[in-house]
């Protein structure tokens, strides 16, 4: 099969002869695509023994690696998954494993591997990676991994910097000459600050300062509301913490926050019951019929109450924090999300919502659990409704 490769992909295919071979860097820079051609070489030249393919979950491994390879090579070369997470790849048997949490360690205990392939490596628990080291026990065993960068104190970055017998290739988005220039330009415009450095430049940089450093009141605060095609409500429910509602309008791939509800029992001297919050929600809607009421999945008693009170379209939020922050940041940077001036608490929290520097020292990206109540419910809405769309396409302005 004749194929044209970028200079960086050619380097990987030529140099990936060490025990550890890791490609990190920008989105859409050719890391994973290059590995589609590295895998057949491993099948051909690695000695007999067990192969293991690893993703954050089996589902993401199929989406990111197996399905694209099947389109490239056909069903005869890349079988569909059979048995208990097994596959035939270029005539060779391989196991599939999802490394989503600490329990994944037990999935590979006892294995003796001659080869392992890893997708989205920084999303794995470190304990799983440590166990994987001992499982690559056959002579000449190799590992190939791809990833987007995280913070500079992440355990994988430390491994890359200190391990022996390792090759690491850094990818910038401009390392992929086959992308549409208009797409590259749009992508560069959608990311800013932390996300630009990580997902465009491919750098392992610290998340610090305010989370949404692209927030600009002059750009993002509106005085008049567009006409919405659909409405949504998003809720961050608190027992010992404030409770926040947001009413959102959506049309043509854009969204805006029309109004907010914010109740802090420490300011009012009284905590409300689930039934009282449910009544407040009814008043808050004022006759608007939202397509979904998006609620924190952990708010079990509150969801039970509002369903009992006649709200049928209750939907659990996608509560992936860092992925959700990235979705919200992209919506803000691209101008696809605005906030009405009446949402005073929402606007205030943008300047006070900051990264947790202590967590950063442990290699973890997470915001401080302060000034985050409207930010949480905004993130619930934006990531649940827009987060599955991947790169957000440019649309005509309606503001």
Predicted pLDDT of residue 392: 47
pTM, whole model, 2 decimals? Answer: 0.80
CB 330, CB 337: distance < 8 Å:
no
Predicted pLDDT of residue 53: 97
Q: What does R_g of the chain's alpha carbons equal in angstroms?
A: 24
Inform me whether the pLDDT recorded for 391 exceeds 80: no
**One-character DSSP codes across 323-351:** HHHHHHHHHHHTT-EEEETT-HHHHHHHT
- What is the distance, to the nearest Å, from the Cα of residue 213 to the centroid of all Cα atoms in its chain? 19
Identify the CATH number of the domain defined by range 7-179: 3.40.50.300
Predicted pLDDT of residue 267: 82
368 against 339, higher pLDDT: 339
Predicted pLDDT of residue 388: 67
Cα–Cα distances in angstroms (integers) from residue 191 to residues 123, 194, 208, 213, 390, in the given order: 21, 8, 16, 11, 13
Mean pLDDT of 326-336: 93
Which long-range contacts (C-beta less than 8 Å, at least 24 apart) are formed by 303-308? Answer: 304/274, 305/274, 305/275, 305/277, 305/278, 306/274, 306/278, 306/281
C-alpha–C-alpha distance, residues 353 and 212, integer Å: 8
Predicted pLDDT of residue 288: 95
Tens digits of residue pLDDT in 81-140: 888 899 999 999 999 999 999 999 999 999 999 999 999 999 999 999 999 999 999 999
The top-level CATH class assigned to 217-389 is alpha beta
Predicted pLDDT of residue 3: 67
Predicted pLDDT of residue 2: 55
Mean pLDDT of 34-51: 94
At 318, list the tokens: 């996608």
Tens digits of residue pLDDT in 149-169: 999 999 999 999 999 999 999
Share of the chain above pLDDT 70, in %: 96
Predicted pLDDT of residue 4: 84
Predicted pLDDT of residue 279: 97
List the beta bridge partners of residue 337.
255
Tens digits of residue pLDDT in 46-89: 999 999 999 999 999 999 999 999 999 999 999 998 888 999 99
Spatial CB neighbours of 224, under 8 Å, sequence gap ≥ 6: none
C-alpha–C-alpha distance, residues 205 and 203, integer Å: 6
pLDDT band at 389 (very low <50, low <70, confident <90, very high): very low
Average pLDDT score over the chain: 92
Predicted pLDDT of residue 395: 43
Delimit the CATH 3.30.420.280 region(s) of the chain. 217-389
Delimit the CATH 3.40.50.300 region(s) of the chain. 7-179
How far does the chain reach from its first CA to its final CA, in angstroms? 49
């Amino acid at each position: 099969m004749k194929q044209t490769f970028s200079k960086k992909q050619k380097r990987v295919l030529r140099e990936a002869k060490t025990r550890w071979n890791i490609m990190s860097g920008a989105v859409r820079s050719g890391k994973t695509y290059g590995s589609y051609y590295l895998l057949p070489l491993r099948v051909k030249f690695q000695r007999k023994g067990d192969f293991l393919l690893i993703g954050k979950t089996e589902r993401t491994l199929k989406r990111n690696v197996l399905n694209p390879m099947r389109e490239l090579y056909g069903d005869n070369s890349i079988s569909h998954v059979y048995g208990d997470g097994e596959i035939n790849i270029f005539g060779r048997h391989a196991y599939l494993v999802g490394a989503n949490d600490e329990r994944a360690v037990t999935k590979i205990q006892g294995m003796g591997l001659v080869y392992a392939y890893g997708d989205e490596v920084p999303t794995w628990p470190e304990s799983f990676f440590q166990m994987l080291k001992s499982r690559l026990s056959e002579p000449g065993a190799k590992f190939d991994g791809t990833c987007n960068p995280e913070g500079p104190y992440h355990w994988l970055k430390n491994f890359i910097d200190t391990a022996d017998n390792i090759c690491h290739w850094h990818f910038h988005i401009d390392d992929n000459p086959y992308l549409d220039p208009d797409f590259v330009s749009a992508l560069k415009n959608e990311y800013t600050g932390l996300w630009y450095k990580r997902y465009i430049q491919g750098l392992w940089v610290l998340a610090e300062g305010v989370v949404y450093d692209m927030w600009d009141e002059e750009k993002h605060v509106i005085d008049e509301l567009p006409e919405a095609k659909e409405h949504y409500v998003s809720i961050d429910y608190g027992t010992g913490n404030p409770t926040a509602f947001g009413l959102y309008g959506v049309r043509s791939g854009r969204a805006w926050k029309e109004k907010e509800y914010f109740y802090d029992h420490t300011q009012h001297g009284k905590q409300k019951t689930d039934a009282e919050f449910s009544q407040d929600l009814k008043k808050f809607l004022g006759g608007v019929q939202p397509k979904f009421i998006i609620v924190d999945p952990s708010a079990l008693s509150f969801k039970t109450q509002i369903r009992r009170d006649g709200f049928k379209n209750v939907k659990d939020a996608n509560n992936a924090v860092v992925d959700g922050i990235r979705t919200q940041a992209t919506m803000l940077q691209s101008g696809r999300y605005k906030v009405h001036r009446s949402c005073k608490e929402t606007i205030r929290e943008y300047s006070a919502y900051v990264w947790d520097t202590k967590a950063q020292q442990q290699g973890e990206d997470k915001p401080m659990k302060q000034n985050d109540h409207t930010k949480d419910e905004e993130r619930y809405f934006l990531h649940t409704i827009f987060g599955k769309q991947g790169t957000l396409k440019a649309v005509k302005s309606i503001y």
